Amino acid sequence: MRAAYIERLGSPDVIRYGDQPTPEPGPTDVLVDVRAVSVNHVDTFVRSGAWRTPLTFPFVIGRDLTGTVAAVGAGVHRFRPGDRVWCNSLGHDGRQGAAAEQVVVPVDRLYRLPEGADPYETVALAHPAATAYLGLFTHGRLRSGETVVVVGAAGNVGSALVVMAAAAGGRVIAVASERDAEYCRGIGADHVIDYRDPDVPGRIRAAAPAGADLYLDASGMNDLETAVDLLAGRGRIVLLAGLRSRPELPVGPLYLRDRSVLGFAISHATPGELAEAASAINRLVADGSLRPRAVERLHLSDAAEAHRRLEEGKVRGKLVLSRDAKG
Is-cis flag, bond preceding 27, omega within 30?
Answer: no
Spell out the SS3 assignment of 112-147: ECCCCCCHHHHHHHHHHHHHHHHHHHHHCCCCCCCE
Q: Residue 96 maps to which CATH number?
A: 3.90.180.10
pTM: 0.95
Could you tell me if 183 and 233 lie in one domain? yes
Q: Give the HSE-up count for residue 70: Cα atoms under 13 Å, Cβ half-sphere.
A: 16
Query: What pLDDT shows up at residue 327?
Result: 58
Task: Assess whether 94 and 139 both reside in one domain.
Answer: no
Instruction: State residue 246's pLDDT score.
Output: 87
- State how far the Cα of 220 lies from the Cα of 184, in Å rounded to an integer: 19
How many domains does the chain fold into?
2
**Considering just the CA atoms, what is the radius of gyration of the chain in Å?**
20
- All residues at 6 or more sequence positions from 227 whose CB lies less than 8 Å from its CB, including other chains: 149, 215, 217, 237
Pair 173, 250 in one domain: yes
* Judgement on whether residues 89 and 146 belong to the same structural domain of the protein: no
Report CA torsion sign: 90, 113, 189, 139: negative
Q: Print pLDDT tens along the chain (327 aa).
A: 999 999 999 999 999 999 999 999 999 999 999 999 999 999 999 999 999 999 999 999 999 999 999 999 999 999 999 999 999 999 999 999 999 999 999 999 999 999 999 999 999 999 999 999 999 999 999 999 999 999 999 999 999 999 999 999 999 999 999 999 999 999 999 999 999 999 999 999 999 999 999 999 999 899 999 999 999 999 999 999 887 888 888 898 888 899 999 999 999 999 999 999 999 999 999 999 999 999 999 999 999 999 999 999 999 889 999 998 775
| 285, part of any domain | no
Same domain, 140 and 254: yes
The parent domain of residue 156 ranges over 127-267
One domain for residues 153 and 220 = yes
CA-based max dimension of the chain: 61
Q: Are residues 100 and 179 in the same domain?
A: no
* 305 domain residue, yes or no: yes
Q: In a 3-state reduction of DSSP, which class is residue 262? A: strand
Task: Of 299, 297, 298, 295, give the one whose Cα is nearest residue 316.
Answer: 295
C-alpha span between 236 and 90 (Å, rounded): 30
Distance CA 173, CA 160 (A): 14
Q: Does residue 244 sit within a domain?
A: yes
Separation CA 277–CA 255 (nearest Å): 30
Contact (CB, 8 A) for 193 and 167 = no
Is the residue at 276 inside a domain? no
Q: Using CA atoms in the order 18, 58, 303, 54, what is the torsion angle rounded to 10 degrees?
A: 160
The answer on 10 and 55 residing in a single domain is yes
Assess whether 159 and 255 both reside in one domain.
Answer: yes
The SS3 assignment for 306 reads helix
- For residue 203, being part of any structural domain is answered with yes
Determine the 3-state secondary structure of 107 from DSSP. helix
Both 100 and 158 in one domain: the answer is no
Written in H, E and C, the secondary structure of 3-21 is EEEECCCCCHHHCEEEECC
Contact 55, 46 (CB under 8 A): yes
CB contact set of 69 (below 8 Å; sequence gap of 6+): 30, 31, 32, 33, 79, 80, 81, 82, 83, 85
Task: Please check whether residues 162 and 257 belong to one and the same domain.
Answer: yes
> Where are the alpha helices (H) located in the chain, listed in sequence order?
41-48, 119-133, 156-167, 181-186, 200-207, 224-229, 251-256, 271-286, 303-311
SS3 58: coil
Cβ atoms within 10 A of the Cβ of 48, count?
16
- 238 and 157 in a common domain: yes
